Structure 1
Amino acid sequence: MIERVIESILFRSRWIMAPFYLGLVIALFVLLFKFGSEVVHFVTHALGASESDTILGILALVDLTLTGNLVLIVIFSGYENFVSKIDPAGHPDWPDWMTRVDFTGLKQKLLASIVAISAIQLLKAFMDLPKGYSQDTLTWLVIIHVVFVGSSLLLAWSDKLSSSKH
C-alpha cells in the first residue's frame, strides 16, 4: 500500500517538468524577438555593409535559427520522453522526428546543435579579425569548440558501444 502511494507520487511528479517546457516556449518568443531585431538591423544596414559584414549578419541569423531549433528539439523530445506522449493524430504536418527521438537521440541532437552554434561563433570571430579579437579570445573559442566536438564524438562512441551490447 505505501509502496503504491510512493510510486504514484513519483510517477505523477513528472508533470512538474511541464512548466519548464512552457518556459522554453516563452524563451522561443524572446529568441523570435531577437531574431526580428537582427533582421531589421541587417536589412537597414545592408546597403553600407561590406561583404564580411553581410556574411556576419547572415551567420548571426543562422546562429539564432539553430538556437531556436535546439530549443524546439528540447521542448518536444523532453516533453515526449519525460512527461507525456504527444498524439500526432489529426496533425497532417506533424514532423516524423518529434515522436521518434529517444533520450540518446536527444543528447546527440543537442550536442550536434551546440557544435554547429559553436562553429558559427568561431567563424564569426575569424571573419571579424580585423576589428580586433585578442589572441587569447580566439584561443579560448577554438578550445571550447574542440571540447564540444570531442564531447559529441565521445558521446556518439559511448552510445554506439552501449547499443551494441544490447
Structure 2
Amino acid sequence: MLERQFERLMYLSRWILAPIYLGLSLALIALGIKFFMELAHLLPHIGEIAETELVLVILSLIDLTLVGGLLVMVMFSGYENFVSRIDLDEGSEKLSWLGTLDTNSLKNKVAASIVAISSIHLLKVFMNAQNIENDKLLWYVLIHLTFVVSAFAMGLLDKLTKKSY
C-alpha cells in the first residue's frame, strides 16, 4: 500500500516539468522579440549597409530561427515524452512529427540542431576573420568540430544500440 502510494506520487511528480516547458514558450517569445528587433535595426539602414554586414545580420536571423525551432521541438516532444500526450481537437493543425520523437530521436535532433547553429556561428566568424586573432579562429573551429564529432558519435551509438535489440 505504501509502495503503491509512493509510486503514484513519484509518477505524478512528472507534472513539475509542465511549467518548465511553458517557460520555454516564454523563451520563444523573447527570441521572437529579439528577431524582430534585429530586423527593425536592419531595415532603416538597408541602403547603406555593406553586403558582408547584411549577410552577417541575415545569418544572425537564421541562427535565431534555428534556435526557435529547437525550442519548439524540445518543448513539444519533451512534454509528450515526459508529461502527457498533447490532445488536439479533430481538424486542428498538428505537427507531423508530434508524438513520433522518442528521447533518443530528440537527443539526435538537438545535437544536429546544435551543429547547424554552430556552423552558422562559424560562418559568421569566418566572414569577419580579418578582425579575429588566429588562435581564436582555431578555437572556434575546434569547438565546432567537437559538436560535429559529438553529434556523429551520438547518432552512431543510437544506431548501434537499436541494432542490438
Of residues 8-17 and 35-44 in structure 1, the stretch that sits farther from structure 2 once superposed is: 35-44
Which residue of structure 2 aligns with residue 148 of structure 1? 147
Which residue of structure 1 aligns with residue 37 of structure 2? 37
Q: What are the Cα deviations for residues 94-149 of structure 1, in whole angstroms up to 9, with x where unaligned?
A: 1110211111110011001100000000000000123x112222111111100000
Which residue of structure 1 aligns with residue 23 of structure 2? 23
* Contiguous gaps of at least 5 residues in structure 2: none
* Contiguous gaps of at least 5 residues in structure 1: none
Which residue of structure 1 aligns with residue 161 of structure 2? 162
Q: Does 1:113 align with 2:113?
A: yes
RMSD: 1.0
AA aligned opposite 1:10: M
How far 1:2 sits from its partner (Å)?
A: 1.1
1:155 and 1:90 map into 2 onto residues whose CA distance is: 37
1:15 and 1:62 map into 2 onto residues whose CA distance is: 33
How far 1:93 sits from its partner (Å)?
A: 2.0
1:96 and 1:89 map into 2 onto residues whose CA distance is: 15
Closer/same/farther in 2, CA of residues 91 and 23 from structure 1, 3 Å limit:
farther
- Give me the TM-score of the superposition, normalised by structure 2: 0.96
Which residue of structure 2 aligns with residue 133 of structure 1? 132
The count of residues paired between Structure 1 and Structure 2 equals 165
Which residue of structure 2 aligns with residue 50 of structure 1? 50
Which residue of structure 1 aligns with residue 75 of structure 2? 75
> Contact between 2:129 and 2:137, CA under 8 Å: does it hold in 1?
no
Which residue of structure 2 aligns with residue 11 of structure 1? 11
1:110 and 1:44 map into 2 onto residues whose CA distance is: 35
Which residue of structure 2 aligns with residue 123 of structure 1? 123
1:3 and 1:140 map into 2 onto residues whose CA distance is: 52
How far 1:91 sits from its partner (Å)?
A: 4.6
Where has structure 1 moved over 6 Å in runs of 4 or more? none
1:147 and 1:137 map into 2 onto residues whose CA distance is: 15
